[in-house]
A and B are shown apart, each in its own frame.
Chain A
Amino acid sequence: MNASLLIAATLLLAMTMTGCTHVAPYERGILAHPTMTSGDLAGPSEAHVRAVHEGAVGGGASAESGCGCN
């Protein structure tokens, strides 16, 4: 299953890469808006609730640390 997950990711990546256009540095002002951050907008409380309620982890922009909750 993890192999098929990787293949699906690669295919999706290849498909979307073909649709991007070159954007010059002076054209990226809008991308600097705080809501466009690549990080998660969830605060520590919400992130912790997700970690406890969901049986899946990972895939986030930042690292997760362990806790003995559940």
Chain B
Amino acid sequence: MRLGRVAARVAWMMVACTTISGLLLAHVDRADAQPAGATPKKKKPKAAPSASVAPPAPPPEPATETTPAPPPPEPPPPVAEKDKKSEDEKPKVSNVSARVGTEMGAYTDTERVTVLTPSIYGAVYNPTGGWSVSGNYLVDVVSAASADIVSTASPRYEEVRHAGGLSAEYKPGDLGGNVYGSVSREPDYLAYTIGGASTYDIFEKNASILLGYTYGHDVAGKNSTPFEVFSRPVDTSTFKMGLSYVLNRRALLTFIYDTILQTGDTSKPYRFVPMFAPGTVVQPGASVQHVNEIRLPERASEHVPGSRNRYAFSAGFANRFEGATLRIDERLYTDSWGIKATTTDIRFLADLGQRVTLGPHVRLHAQTPVNFWQRAYVSKGVEDLPTLRTGDRELGPLTSVSGGTYLRVYVGGSGDPHKVGLGLDTYVTYTSYPDDIYLQSRLAALGAFTLEVNF
């Protein structure tokens, strides 16, 4: 019954996305079919996303990459009074542009978890005025029956998460700023986030500095239990520093340093950690049935520290070749629970003509476990449970390798193919858990279809 309601909601979202897309495409077709004498819209570069370290104010995209640098502009000749009048009578071209898009993502893995994620987003922006306003909304429909659930004798479950966000940015000159806020809600979890950032261009706009702060307030609850009866607040402050600068005509370099201070109990109320008598040997990847045969009868709920300080430093390099772009990002991470991690992300995007961009994507992630991680926690009884205990395999040692493709096909009119874009992203991840009690590996696949229309 509940699955039926979930399916109905997904169907409603897909119908809404399709309807919006159809209306947008119809609007674009009408705009393309304007009379030959009408003033064509000037193409504008995409607005930078909120809270990002934007490359310092590049001009609109040139017609070709090999266009030589234009000579310095000459002073305009004196305009006769009659010409001035005729200029005033010309229709004014709006500098305001807009972008609307939708994505439909589908995820599945070998742990029998499936997720459908329809989402929509949009932005209105004025590059010459230096402002933009954007928003997004998504729905996650999760269905799961993983080993963690089976091991606690819980039934397969479906859950729906709604998330939305708004942001606004204003950057009239070298100094700019943005504010943003988002809300995420699911039956047993509520999250609010607000934040802002300021950017300042230096070295004649060859570099840009970012300083930002984000505050998040989460409330974790239990399914079918009101928040008034059971809730655990979690507060998060994120301090962000960034620097982006132009290496040369074709290359950008970006650095981001995050300090994330989290307080509150993030233990999962549904997660129970099996306990074992001293001397019991448990091999990695043991079956649920075998673990249940050798474990102690206690059902110890997860318990992790009440605060966590997290630090991440990332460096990103992007270089535009003749007809292709190479992007390399590296993140180093550490936190007060003892995890040390490295994440490398590489994309190569090749232009196949004016209308197609295609390229591979590789991502590698490796991490050490938290300092209270144990595959099999030892106990002599209820009075002797380890103070800190977890069954979250993402807090254990793991290595993941992801590979995927990025495809964009631009189907706008011949004058501006990028006005309408269709996208297909694929993403396959193999994760190895060398010290997990139930799993040794997981294979996951994600596919996402996107449609974006620019006005």
Give the interface of A toward B (CB within 8 A): 1-2, 5-6, 8-9, 12-13, 16-17, 19-39, 41-46, 48-50, 52-70
Which A residues touch B184, using CB under 8 A?
Answer: 65-67
A48→B140 contact, CB < 8 A: yes
B152 proximity list for chain A (CB < 8 A): none
Known: A35-B327, A54-B367, A70-B392. A44 touches B138 (CB 8 A): yes
Min CB–CB distance B75 → chain A (angstroms): 17
Q: Known A63-B238, A66-B193; judge A32-B65 contact (CB<8 A).
A: no
Contact status A45-B107, CB under 8 Å: yes
- Do the beta carbons of A63 and B252 come within 8 Å of each other? no
In-complex Cβ contact of A56 among B58, B325, B341, B429 (8 A): B341
Q: B254 within 8 Å of A by Cβ?
A: yes
Q: B54 an interface residue at 8 Å Cβ cutoff?
A: yes
Q: How many residues of B contact A (CB 8 A)?
A: 118
- CB of B313 within 8 A of CB of A44, answer no
Across chains A and B, the number of contacting residue pairs, with CB separation under 8 Å, is 266
SS class of chain B's interface: helix, strand, loop or mixed?
A: strand
Question: 24 interchain pairs (CB within 8 A)?
Answer: A2-B259, A5-B311, A5-B313, A8-B332, A12-B255, A12-B315, A20-B247, A20-B248, A26-B59, A30-B62, A30-B320, A31-B252, A31-B320, A32-B60, A33-B320, A39-B49, A43-B448, A45-B448, A55-B395, A56-B341, A59-B343, A62-B50, A65-B182, A67-B191
Interface residues of chain B, those whose CB is within 8 Å of chain A, are 45-46, 48-55, 57-62, 65, 67, 69-70, 103, 105-107, 115, 117, 119, 136, 138, 140, 142, 161, 163, 165, 180, 182, 184, 186, 188-189, 191, 193, 195, 203-206, 212, 214, 216, 218, 220, 234, 236, 238, 240, 242-250, 252-260, 268, 309-316, 318, 320, 325, 327, 331-334, 339-341, 343, 347, 349, 357, 363, 365, 367, 392, 394-395, 398, 400, 404, 406, 418, 423, 425, 427, 429, 431, 444, 446, 448, 450
